[in-house]
Amino acid sequence: MGNRLSKIYTRTGDSGTTGLGDGSRVAKDSLRVQAMGDVDELNAVVGLILVEPVSVAIRDCLTTVQHDLFNLGGEICMPGYALIRKERITAIENQLDSFNEGLKPLKEFILPGGNRAASYAHLARTVCRRAERTMHALNHEETLTETALQYINRLSDLLFVLCRVLNKDAGVPDVLWNNEAN
């Protein structure tokens, strides 16, 4: 690892710019910084899930996801740099299949809710979708790796399945959308 942070404030961002990992400076409201922020926010929400009582399998899965998200943020912070490997997409697909095996097939749409851990997972899923949208918008201007874009897409699918698993593990039914409620 390079420099350690011994001084937290630098005053270099006071004018509305921030430094990227390659040393360049960009506006704080640029798509790149928005994408980095969305990925960082997603990592924080995954942390909320992890303070809840979850199974070892989910804890191990999401701990790895947090490291992946830190790498993804680093990849976005350093234009032209690749940190997310294709193997991580395959691993998430395998985890998705494994977690989904124990669930009943869906017949209705699911509303966010259930127990607290599942609710946090729903929040993480929505933040993940926002991060994906921001990353695609950035990709129209500056190329991101195909692997990074695939990873964030698979992750939102994994988070959706984990919502259902967390509710099932807690003995709480998913909250089903009722079209007749209107």
**Residue 162 CB: number of other CB atoms within 10 A?**
29
Spell out the per-residue pLDDT of the chain, length 182, in tens. 456 656 555 665 556 777 667 777 877 788 999 999 999 999 999 999 999 999 999 999 999 999 999 999 999 999 889 999 999 999 999 999 999 999 999 888 999 999 999 999 999 999 999 999 999 999 999 999 999 999 999 999 999 999 999 999 999 999 989 877 66
Could you tell me the residue ranges of all domains in the chain? 28-177
Contact 20, 33 (CB under 8 A): no
- Nearest-angstrom CA–CA distance, 50 and 53: 7
Comparing CA positions, the residue from 118, 113, 132, 114 lying closest to residue 161 is 118
For residue 136, give both structure tokens: 């695609």
For residue 2, give both structure tokens: 């390079």
Comparing CA positions, the residue from 76, 86, 67 lying closest to residue 151 is 86
CATH class for domain 28-177? mainly alpha
Contacts of 102 (CB under 8 A, 6+ apart): 165, 168
> How open is the CA angle 13-16-17, to the nearest 5 degrees?
65
For residue 14, give both structure tokens: 């006071």
Around 55, how many Cα atoms within 13 Å sit in the side-chain half-sphere? 13
> Residue 11 has what pLDDT?
61
State whether the Cα torsion 178-115-73-93 is positive or negative. negative
